Structure 1
Amino acid sequence: MTAAPLAPHPHPAPTGIAAATTDLSKVYGSGDTRVVALDRVSISFHEGRFTAIMGPSGCGKSTLMHCAAGLDSFSSGSARIGTTELGSLNDEQLTRLRRDRIGFIFQAFNLMPTLTALENITLPLTIAGRKPDRQWLDHVVSLTGLSQRLGHRPGQLSGGQQQRVAVARALIARPSIIFGDEPTGNLDSRAGAEVLGFLRDSVRELGRTVVMVTHDPVAAAYADRVVFLSDGRLVDEMVQPTADRVLDRMKAFDARSRTS
């Protein structure tokens, strides 16, 4: 487990909705092989908030994140980034939206091995044909503690440092929302705590919105809110979570699955 976070700081009231789903469903297969991964999930992610998505294995948490982020299609319902309906966009428009308005952090880092840390951080802007804002770049680099590592390639960095590069890359285009899929899953507890601290600071200091899928109750305790899925449905949520409260809730899920 990741090291426990400090007590949360107070936040101003949220000003809007960064992303939302309404009656979102995702079905794989048909007939005897039909699997309902998401079953009419409606949820909003407020601007300037850190939300963790949790639930038993196979509950649909990664599917929810992928559909909400425009990485995967959905069977019915709607998903929005701000006021933009993802279902109304073609592939080119989706690609542009993901590039310009969404940041992604994955468990496997997904860095380009031949590029330096700086080149990996600025890669989304390079692809878009844009130059980084130097003041913003310096701020992001400072936040993630990478000032002394910008000339290093991924193979010369530790796992924690590589994930810091991934966090900086997710922030560089000033996205309206950042999605993380088990972003600390490949890290030890110390490196994981650092990355989670950077994500929390990006919310508190930079006003970003973060949505993270995790299985770790301690990681979830860095969030402002935890939402719980079970069998593809949204079943509970917790505000100002602690690791112990989240763990108790997950134990309840396990007990229910053993008796069902």
Structure 2
Amino acid sequence: MPSPSRTTTSPTAVSGAAGITGEPAPTIASARGLVKTYGKGPTAVHALAGVDVDFGRGRFTAIMGPSGSGKSTLMHCMAGLDSPTAGTVVVDDLVVSGMNQRQLTKLRRTQLGFVFQSFNLVPTLTAEENITLPLDIARKPVDRAYFAKVVDAVGLTDRLTHRPSELSGGQQQRVACARALVSRPAVVFADEPTGNLDSTSSREVLTFLRESVDDLGQSVVMVTHDPVAASYAHRVLFLADGRIVDEVTDPTPDSVLAVLGSLTRKKAAA
């Protein structure tokens, strides 16, 4: 488990996670002046209110905040699943915020991996077929050596011929994780990946996500409401009212709870 926390309050701009040497990790994804507004006029809702953020390459970052803070919106804009109202998003040196739908579709297929709360597996396909599905759709060859490495890391070597109905919830989510990783994406975006899992299955999935970063060099950005889940990350960003208001590096459940408690008290006093 990561070591005790070091909390640093940040106004808007937040740098990448520090590397082993203490230097900032190279940036894999970033946003500048990111604004997302739903509606117009007096009823407009500002989900993001000018976010500047960098996500480190080869780092596991968690995003947390109260309901309505903008955490899912931030991830969706970073992943090209939603279009920002203003600002710039760059992933692996590609300007995502300037892409058309065809370009976004290609980006999501080739550069990004996704893990959602619902497993989104095809019920008629085996675990192996579900894992290789993005590569099959993109008509790209499967790197069998890397496939074997991912499958071994996720603990599914003896489950590849099983269909989703023959797998536990934790195993299904690990299939989804392997599917997200097998194409070697620049970033894996995970939206509440343990929301439908029990504590044991959650631990398995979170351990794998952390190991995919530490052992496979993957970059992971995860939205979660769970302090225990967030403690698996290298860094936790906290949003409130569409802005990044704090961060914790080397988090523990207690350090994450302390920041969340502080945000809740500030909101109640406002």
Scaled to the shorter chain, the TM-score interval is over 0.9
Matches within 5 A, 1:1-260: 5=1, 7=3, 11=20, 16-260=26-270
- State the SS of the aligned residue for 2:74: helix
- State the SS of the aligned residue for 2:159: coil
Answer yes or no: is the 8 Å Cα contact 2:3–2:250 preserved in 1.
no
Q: What is the CA-CA distance between 1:70 and the residue it aligns to?
A: 0.6
Gapped runs of 5+ residues in structure 2? 5-18
Name the aligned partner's letter for residue 225 of structure 1.
R
Gapped runs of 5+ residues in structure 1? none
Residues in 1 aligned to 2:135 and 2:143: alpha-carbon distance in whole angstroms: 10
Q: What is the CA-CA distance between 1:176 and the residue it aligns to?
A: 0.9
Answer yes or no: is the 8 Å Cα contact 2:147–2:182 preserved in 1.
yes
Name the aligned partner's letter for residue 202 of structure 2.
G
Q: What is the CA-CA distance between 1:33 and the residue it aligns to?
A: 2.0
Q: How many residues align structurally?
A: 255
Answer yes or no: is the 8 Å Cα contact 1:176–1:209 preserved in 2.
yes
- State the SS of the aligned residue for 1:234: strand
Residues in 2 aligned to 1:193 and 1:70: alpha-carbon distance in whole angstroms: 28
Q: What is the CA-CA distance between 1:7 and the residue it aligns to?
A: 4.9
Partner of 2:11: none
Residues in 1 aligned to 2:124 and 2:37: alpha-carbon distance in whole angstroms: 38
Residues in 2 aligned to 1:6 and 1:93: alpha-carbon distance in whole angstroms: 38
Q: What is the CA-CA distance between 1:15 and the residue it aligns to?
A: 5.0
Partner of 2:16: none
- State the SS of the aligned residue for 1:121: helix
Residues in 1 aligned to 2:3 and 2:174: alpha-carbon distance in whole angstroms: 22
Name the aligned partner's letter for residue 138 of structure 1.
A
> TM-score scaled by structure 2?
0.91
Name the aligned partner's letter for residue 214 of structure 1.
T
Partner of 2:14: none
Q: What is the CA-CA distance between 1:125 and the residue it aligns to?
A: 0.2
Answer yes or no: is the 8 Å Cα contact 1:14–1:49 preserved in 2.
no
Residues in 2 aligned to 1:197 and 1:45: alpha-carbon distance in whole angstroms: 20
- State the SS of the aligned residue for 1:110: coil
Residues in 2 aligned to 1:123 and 1:162: alpha-carbon distance in whole angstroms: 15
Residues in 1 aligned to 2:36 and 2:267: alpha-carbon distance in whole angstroms: 22
Name the aligned partner's letter for residue 190 of structure 2.
G
> TM-score scaled by structure 1?
0.95
Residues in 2 aligned to 1:159 and 1:15: alpha-carbon distance in whole angstroms: 34
Name the aligned partner's letter for residue 81 of structure 2.
L
Residues in 1 aligned to 2:186 and 2:46: alpha-carbon distance in whole angstroms: 29
Answer yes or no: is the 8 Å Cα contact 1:14–1:48 preserved in 2.
no
